[in-house]
Amino acid sequence: MITNAKLAALFERMAQLLEVLGENRFKVAAFQRAARTLDGMTDQAHDLVDPGNPGDPGKPVDLSNLTAIEGIGKGLAEKIVELVTTGELQEYADLMAKVPAGVVDLLDIPGLGPKTIALFWQKADIYSLDKLKAALEGDALVDLPGVGKKKLDNLRKSIAFAESSGGRVRLGQALPVAAWFVDTLGAMKQARQIDCAGSLRRGRETIGDIDIIVAATEKDAAAVSDAFVKLEPVTEVLVHGPTKSSVRTGGDAGGMQVDLRVIDPKNYGAALLYFTGSKEHNIRLRQCAIDRGLHLNEYGLTKQSDNKLVAGKTEADVYKALELAWIPPELREDRDELNLAGQDKLPKLIELAEIKAELHAHTAASDGHWSIRELAHAAAERGFHTVAVTDHSKSQAQANGLDAKRLRAHIKDIHKVRDEMKDTITILAGSEVDILADGSLDYDDDLLAELDIVVASPHAGLSQPPAKATARLIKAIENPYTNIIGHPTGRIINRREGLSPDMPAIIDAAKAHGKTLEINAHHLRLDLRDIHARMAIEAGVKLAINTDAHAQSNLDELIYGILTARRAGATKKDVVNCMTASALKKWLART
């Protein structure tokens, strides 16, 4: 099925291509608007397509369900129908054919827009990343209109940063692909058990490759492997054997390697343990086995004396035979988990279902795609008792941030819905207030005082030096109206480094002032990152886990924030979103 997200990505890409080609800006804007609308829609456009009339193929397709969507005219509706019914779009193929493939690659470089790409292509004959990198070795491009020294410096930095990701993909890209493979193969009757392993199971923010482990008997192994290498997203088969296969994916699951291992059911737990890693955790475990006169490998735990199998069917069996509690995958990084497991003192890690409040979300008042009511209903459907409406502040002009007057009107609107829905969910009137470059907040104190909750976040000035960043964030923490520091560094995974403040100093300040640091669950952010969240917990600082939802689909990203928090060793006591409604209310009144 073509999801709204796929349609939106395609229209966004078409807008970029049109811009590169210097086409009419109204046409560009129409594609951009359609992309935004589709991205924020609750219904799937796919379901609104008229299936046609097979008995009468000449009968025109009814577009009215699609054209009823704001921002979708007849032309765009026809394109959606073409995509949904044929899986392709001729106009997209035509546009792609007009632009060299290397130029399309340039669109993926962060901070490099279509207009500049067009300029480089037309005026400097640059139509690939290699050519761009060569040109950036000197300052030749500085003479092009609108291209200053600073812009070129930024471009050099962002190319270097993107390349330093070393082909690792974000957790948020890999997890849905892995889940699809697990579901699809798991449906085979030969697959007795199936799990993700590797860094994905450990919830790391980026993934080198996807590892999948499946249990099947020896006679069924080949059937599972054969099915795997023939699955639709597979574009290249790197290895194909009955017990180990490895493929590369294309299309929406673009450019990922997936390793599959087929394991005899009696060794399944040992294999899952081994291939979940981390490698460092495995090495510790093996030493632990040796100390007990045992031997551990991917087939099981055996006695050194007579090679007899002691454990192997489940992970818990193996840990138990080593006198350890079962260790959650997110903690298997060779920190202190073996010690804690030996003393049965592992933290009871937070779970998705323990989150009862969303404290950072946007509506159409700024750059969200939904109303206060829609947000509140979606939060209530997830079983939340509280939701905070936190639209952007005035400095975020490109995100339609609210000035004082609009915020006051917005607070009134929020209160209206709050009163209307008071039996369903508690709605807080808040704001995501910009932390300006000097650490002051984007609204005056008297206005901040009218809000129930303040999430203070850095958005601009993210390349300032560490000492400035530290002073900036500490000043925001000291502001008496601040409740939560939102995405404290502003980093974007694989794309933007963000601020590099002195984290221990930030954590000290948060502790001293009783303030909370956010793990922003958006798959591009995961900010605080795991190691910093761990430092915060160890210092006794509370965390918030928020989705920063701009639309319904963002709420599903909460899982990435949870995985990050689990890697930090967080329990529900460490996370303000797990508080009861009354405790949360008290907390907000106090801070």
- What angle, 0 to 180 degrees and rounded to 10, lies between the N-to-C axes of helices 558-567 and 171-186? 100
Number of Cβ within 10 Å of residue 232's Cβ equals: 11
Residue number of the CB atom closest to Ca ion: 198
Among 68, 140, 283, 583, binds ligand DGT (CB under 6 A): 283
* Strand residues in 137-208 grouped as ranges (E): 169-170, 193-196, 206-207
Among 278, 371, 440, 463, binds ligand DGT (CB under 6 A): 278
Q: Does 279 bind ligand DGT (CB under 6 A)?
A: yes
Q: Does 209 bind ligand DGT (CB under 6 A)?
A: yes
Q: Does 245 bind ligand DGT (CB under 6 A)?
A: no
Judged by CB under 5 A, the chain residues 529 through 558 that form the site for Ca ion are: none
Cα–Cα dist 138/557, whole Å:
42
Cα–Cα dist 73/141, whole Å:
40
- Window contacting ligand DGT (CB under 6 A); options: 187-195, 272-280, 351-359, 514-522: 272-280
**At its nearest, how many Å lie between ligand DGT and the CB of residue 246?**
10
Cβ proximity to ligand DGT: between 285 and 474 the closer is 285
Cβ proximity to Zn ion: between 432 and 557 the closer is 432
**At its nearest, how many Å lie between Ca ion and the CB of residue 249?**
14
Among 102, 111, 208, 342, binds ligand DGT (CB under 6 A): 208
- Window contacting ligand DGT (CB under 6 A); options: 182-190, 206-214, 350-358, 411-419: 206-214
- Window contacting ligand DGT (CB under 6 A); options: 204-212, 356-364, 373-381, 454-462: 204-212
Cβ proximity to ligand DGT: between 186 and 208 the closer is 208
Cβ proximity to Zn ion: between 272 and 524 the closer is 524
Q: Does 282 bind ligand DGT (CB under 6 A)?
A: yes
Among 205, 391, 518, 548, binds Zn ion (CB under 5 A): 548
The DSSP code sequence of 409-445 is: HHHHHHHHHHHHTTTT-EEEEEEEEEB-TTS-BSS-H
Report what 548 binds from Ca ion, Zn ion, ligand DGT, none; CB cut-off 5-8 Å by kind: Zn ion
Residue in the structure block whose two tokens are 């819905």: 417
**At its nearest, how many Å lie between Ca ion and the CB of residue 208?**
5
Cα–Cα dist 502/356, whole Å:
31
Cβ proximity to Ca ion: between 209 and 497 the closer is 209
Q: Does 391 bind Zn ion (CB under 5 A)?
A: no
Among 83, 207, 324, 417, binds ligand DGT (CB under 6 A): 207
Q: Does 169 bind ligand DGT (CB under 6 A)?
A: no
Among 19, 211, 391, 548, binds ligand DGT (CB under 6 A): 211
**At its nearest, how many Å lie between ligand DGT and the CB of residue 337?**
14
Residue number of the CB atom closest to ligand DGT: 277
**At its nearest, how many Å lie between Zn ion and the CB of residue 438?**
21
Cβ proximity to Zn ion: between 360 and 472 the closer is 360
Cβ proximity to ligand DGT: between 73 and 176 the closer is 176
Judged by CB under 5 A, the chain residues 231 through 270 that form the site for Ca ion are: 259
Give the three-state DSSP class for 90.
helix
Number of Cβ within 10 Å of residue 235's Cβ equals: 13
Among 233, 269, 277, 490, binds ligand DGT (CB under 6 A): 277
- Window contacting ligand DGT (CB under 6 A); options: 202-210, 365-373, 527-535, 560-568: 202-210
What is the biggest distance separating any 2 CA atoms in the chain, rounded to whole angstroms? 80
**At its nearest, how many Å lie between ligand DGT and the CB of residue 320?**
20
Q: Does 203 bind Ca ion (CB under 5 A)?
A: no
Three-state SS letters, 522-579: CCCCCECCHHHHHHHHHCCCCEEEECCECCHHHHHHHHHHHHHHHHCCCCHHHEHHHC
Cβ proximity to Zn ion: between 202 and 523 the closer is 523
Q: Does 209 bind Ca ion (CB under 5 A)?
A: yes
In this structure, the strands spanning 244-249 and 234-240 are antiparallel
- Window contacting Zn ion (CB under 5 A); options: 100-108, 276-284, 334-342, 548-556: 548-556
State both tokens at 512.
């001293």
The DSSP code sequence of 258-325 is: EEEEEE-GGGHHHHHHHHH--HHHHHHHHHHHHHTTEEEETTEEEETTT--EEE-SSHHHHHHHTT-P
8 A C-beta contact, residue 300 and residue 270: yes
Cα–Cα dist 299/216, whole Å:
14
Give the three-state DSSP class for 496.
strand
Residues 199-238: x where in contact with Zn ion by CB under 5 A, - otherwise, as a string: ----------------------------------------
Cβ proximity to ligand DGT: between 213 and 376 the closer is 213
Q: Does 198 bind Ca ion (CB under 5 A)?
A: yes
Cα–Cα dist 251/235, whole Å:
9
Report what 96 binds from Zn ion, ligand DGT, Ca ion, none; CB cut-off 5-8 Å by kind: none
Distances (CA, A) of 416 to 330, 411, 432: 42, 9, 20
Which H or E run includes 75? helix 74-86
Cβ proximity to ligand DGT: between 32 and 199 the closer is 199
Q: Which amino acid is at 458?
A: P
Kindly provide the b/e burial profile for residues 283-311, where b requires at least 16 CB atoms within 10 angstroms of the residue's own CB.
eebbebbeeeebbbebbbbbeeeeeeebb
Among 330, 432, 452, 518, binds Zn ion (CB under 5 A): 432
Cα–Cα dist 261/274, whole Å:
12
Report phi then psi at 570, rounded to 5. -75, 140
> How many residues make contact with ligand DGT (CB under 6 A)?
13
State both tokens at 49.
């397509």
State both tokens at 332.
């298997």
In this structure, the strands spanning 453-457 and 484-485 are parallel
Binding site for Zn ion (CB under 5 A): 432, 548
Binding site for ligand DGT (CB under 6 A): 198-199, 207-209, 211, 274-275, 277-279, 282-283
Binding site for Ca ion (CB under 5 A): 198-199, 209, 211, 259
